[in-house]
């Protein structure tokens, strides 16, 4: 089972990826996680990435693509994987196609989770974190005050800069410029499945499972 999940920030890609990962017993792959893993394992690529990051620079596409290839070719991905939020550019999508070709991956699902900007802003601007334990909450669903329900710390609940409305709007603008073109890229190749990301988490999971289990499956 090979699944690529993508869409704007705040549509629930990570949440759905975790659910599907547990259901199908395949790894949930995100660029942040595999980068940290490569650095922690002190692989050749990880050491190169660490050197770049220590210099205050962004890890290049070339290195990230090699780390991605290394990860997808590893034994843990032998039975499939779920890519969360990758690729993010047309170049990455093209390179990912090459990796899939080299690994003999020819079937799977590219799923675009679609949510309107207004709803994304509403969701993200209501997120709150605990300074003490890092727990994440959302005022739309969680009844909290300044005390963290998990660790009990007082005056620990705060809003991250990334979750403030003006920053969210900037993130969406960057997404539309650099990542949204991937939607057209996959549509032209007849590989894209769009899912309405509004509503209950379980309902969205049901929509995704319905597509995956459909008799006439779409393929990459």
- Domain boundaries along the sequence of the chain: 2-26+79-124+179-212
Distance CA 219, CA 132 (A): 45
Length of the chain: 220
Q: Single out the catalytic residue among 69, 127, 128, 207.
A: 127
* Token digits of residue 181: 């073109």
DSSP single-letter state for residue 75: G
Catalytic site includes residue 143? no
Handedness of CA 33, 186, 112, 213 (dihedral sign): negative
Catalytic site includes residue 128? no
The Cβ-side half-sphere exposure at 152, using a 13 Å CA radius, reads 0
Catalytic site includes residue 50? no
* Token digits of residue 99: 């990796």
Q: Single out the catalytic residue among 50, 122, 150, 171.
A: 171
**Can you tell me which residue has the tokens 């802003």?**
121
* SS3 state of residue 122: helix
**In CATH terms, is domain 2-26+79-124+179-212 a member of 3.40.50.300?**
yes
Q: Single out the catalytic residue among 160, 169, 176, 214.
A: 160
Q: Single out the catalytic residue among 88, 122, 150, 183.
A: 88
Distance CA 201, CA 194 (A): 16
Neighbours of 143 (CB within 10 A): 7
* SS3 state of residue 39: helix
Q: What is the pLDDT along the chain (220 residues), one digit of tens a residue?
A: 999 999 999 999 999 999 999 999 999 998 888 888 889 989 899 999 999 888 878 788 898 899 999 999 999 999 999 999 889 889 999 999 999 999 999 888 999 999 999 999 999 999 999 999 999 999 998 989 889 999 999 999 999 999 999 999 999 999 999 899 999 999 998 789 999 999 889 999 999 999 998 864 444 4
């Amino acid at each position: 089972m090979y699944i690529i999940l993508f869409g704007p920030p705040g549509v629930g890609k990570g949440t759905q990826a975790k659910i599907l990962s547990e259901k199908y017993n395949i790894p949930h792959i995100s660029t942040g996680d595999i980068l940290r893993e490569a650095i922690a394992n002190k692989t050749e690529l990880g050491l190169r990435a660490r050197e770049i990051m220590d210099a205050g620079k962004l890890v290049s596409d070339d290195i990230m693509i090699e780390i991605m290839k290394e990860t997808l070719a590893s034994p843990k991905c032998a039975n499939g994987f779920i890519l969360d939020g990758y690729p993010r550019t047309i170049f990455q999508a093209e390179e990912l196609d090459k990796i899939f070709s080299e690994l003999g991956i020819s079937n799977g699902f590219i799923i675009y989770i679609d949510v309107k900007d207004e709803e994304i802003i509403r969701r993200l601007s209501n997120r709150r974190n605990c300074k003490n334990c890092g727990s994440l909450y959302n005022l739309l669903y969680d009844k909290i005050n300044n005390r963290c329900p998990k660790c009990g710390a007082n005056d620990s609940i705060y809003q991250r800069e990334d979750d403030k409305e003006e920053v969210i709007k900037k993130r969406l603008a960057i997404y539309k410029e650099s990542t949204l073109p991937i939607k057209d890229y996959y549509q032209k190749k007849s590989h894209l499945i769009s899912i309405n990301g509004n509503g209950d988490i379980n309902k969205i999971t049901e929509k995704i499972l319905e597509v995956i289990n459909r008799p006439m499956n779409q393929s990459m």
